[in-house]
Amino acid sequence: MIRWLIFVLAYIALSFYVLQALRTISKQPWWSWLYIAVSLAVMLNFIYQFTAGEETGRVLSIPKSYAFGFLLTMLTFNIITILFLFSEDIYRLISGLYQKLYGAEKQFGLPARRRFLSLLALGIAAVPFGALLYGMYKGKYNFKVLKYNLEFDDLPDSFDGYQITQISDIHSGSFDDRKKIEYAVDLINQQKSDVLLFTGDMVNNMTSEMEPWADLFSTLDAKDGKFSVLGNHDYGDYIPWETEELKSKNLEDLKALQKQMGFDLLLNEHRYLKKGEDKIALVGVENWGKGGFKKAGDLKKAASQINENDFKILMSHDPSHWEMEVIKDAYHYHLTLSGHTHGMQFGIEIPGWIKWSPVKWRYPYWAGIYKEMGQFLNVNRGFGFLGYPGRVGIWPEITVITLRKKALT
């Protein structure tokens, strides 16, 4: 109860401060009343969804996600506006004190707030405000197909031109538009890749989240099959369970559902992809992540029955596994496929110019292709979304990788 009281008081204080900017730029009171109404609606909806809504507790339902998304949007607008207003108020305070101490007038008073700075503050704050709303309305389903050609000296000849489609982080519990997901599934199939690889987080927490979508994702097709691994959310670790048995059953149900959908789930094991006399070792580990994330992945076990000289593709959900274990392993993993970061669902990307997201401060390898010690990593930006129900600048991704034999020089 106390934390909610603190939240309400802090939110009202921020909103009241921003209200001063609105009153500075316009004499029309309806602007202020509109802002007050929207602010209150966002705050009350957030409190309702997280206290008395349909799904209480730690389950992040779709209404909760939107309540959080609207709150985030409003807070972003308020905080950016306040940064400008506060800097001006510091100037006003210093100016008022100076006039009292050294000016002709000895009565203390603050100079009037400048309309230009209030306009500038609100104008700049409106940009992320609009972007976050767009991200919830359109951005989360703005699917992009990203294509890469990767060259290898020791790629088996028969696999020259072999095409892989990778998807990751479906987070089916967040979906709210079947037609958009149908479009994305069709887009995946249009790539006509040789193999489809899914790198974890099929659900947010519970197998039941995927059940309404299982028939649709069952239509995914690749001639050499579709393979998957588990991500950190697939274990159900982020919600309370009445018993450990129910939690274990949830995981077993998810494994069974993936099988029904046609996925070959790799649990610290391998498969061989074959073309004539040539083959590639496809290795899949359970989740392994730094910073408190589950470390069920066992690379040694997964690779125990493959050859050191095999060409290897590793599926590992969390890119920190590649950073901390894979690239240092005695085996040479030619290509590792990961996801997990979502690119934070927020950032700026202009191909060939800039690629930035705040998530880079947590994960040095957070989106796209990287190469270290002669080994490649692709971090997929994710198919779905979680928490904030949208994407801004970092769009949902379908990755298509073509393997190429490096030409002799």
Task: Give residue 156's region: left, alpha or beta (phi > 0; psi -120 to 50).
Answer: beta
Which single residue is written with the structure tokens 């046609």?
262
Domain identity same for 79 and 30? yes
Domain of residue 163: give its range: 143-405
pLDDT digits (tens, 9 = 90+) for 94-142: 565 656 556 555 554 444 556 777 788 888 999 999 999 999 999 999 9
Number of neighbouring beta carbons within 10 Å of residue 173: 24
User: Cα–Cα–Cα angle for 238, 240, 245, nearest 5°?
Assistant: 105
Q: Would you say 114 and 88 are in contact if contact means Cβ atoms under 8 Å apart?
A: yes
Which single residue is written with the structure tokens 């991704």?
397
Domain identity same for 274 and 206? yes
Cβ neighbours of residue 64 closer than 8 Å, sequence gap 6 or more: 49, 50, 53, 55
Q: Measured between alpha carbons, how far is 363 from 167 in angstroms, rounded to an integer? A: 19
Domain endpoint, select from 79, 107, 137:
137
Domain identity same for 186 and 313? yes
Q: Return the structure tokens found at 312.
A: 């290897």
Domain identity same for 116 and 166? no
Give the confidence band of 266 by pLDDT, cuts at 50, 70, 90.
Answer: very high
- Please report which helix (H) or strand (E) contains residue 372, including its range: strand 368-372
Domain identity same for 127 and 155? no
Domain identity same for 223 and 148? yes
Reported pTM: 0.91
pLDDT value, residue 116: 72
Range in 35-49, 96-110, 244-258 with the lowest mean pLDDT: 96-110
Kindly compute the dihedral angle of the four CA atoms of residues 298, 228, 394, 210, in this order, to the nearest 10 degrees: -120
pLDDT digits (tens, 9 = 90+) for 371-390: 999 999 999 999 999 999 99
pLDDT value, residue 393: 96
Q: What is the mean pLDDT of residues 352-376?
A: 95
Q: Chain-wide mean pLDDT for the chain?
A: 91
Domain identity same for 14 and 58? yes
Domain identity same for 31 and 52? yes
Q: Measured between alpha carbons, how far is 339 from 343 in angstroms, rounded to an integer? A: 9
Q: Measured between alpha carbons, how far is 57 from 323 in angstroms, rounded to an integer? A: 35
Domain identity same for 351 and 367? yes
pLDDT digits (tens, 9 = 90+) for 44-88: 999 999 988 766 555 678 999 999 999 999 999 999 988 877 776
**Number of helices followed by number of strands (H, E) in the chain:** 9, 14
pLDDT value, residue 109: 47
Give percent of the chain above pLDDT 70. 91
Q: How far is CA 124 from the centre of its chain?
A: 25
Q: Measured between alpha carbons, how far is 44 from 361 in angstroms, rounded to an integer? A: 33
- Helices 62-102 and 2-25: crossing angle in degrees, nearest 10, is 60
Q: Is 122 helix (H, G, I), strand (E, B) or coil?
A: helix
The count of structural domains within the chain is 2
Q: Is 68 helix (H, G, I), strand (E, B) or coil?
A: helix
Q: Measured between alpha carbons, how far is 88 from 385 in angstroms, rounded to an integer? A: 38
Which single residue is written with the structure tokens 């979680």?
386
pLDDT value, residue 103: 56
The amino acid at 128: P
pLDDT value, residue 110: 45
Domain endpoint, select from 78, 104, 137:
137
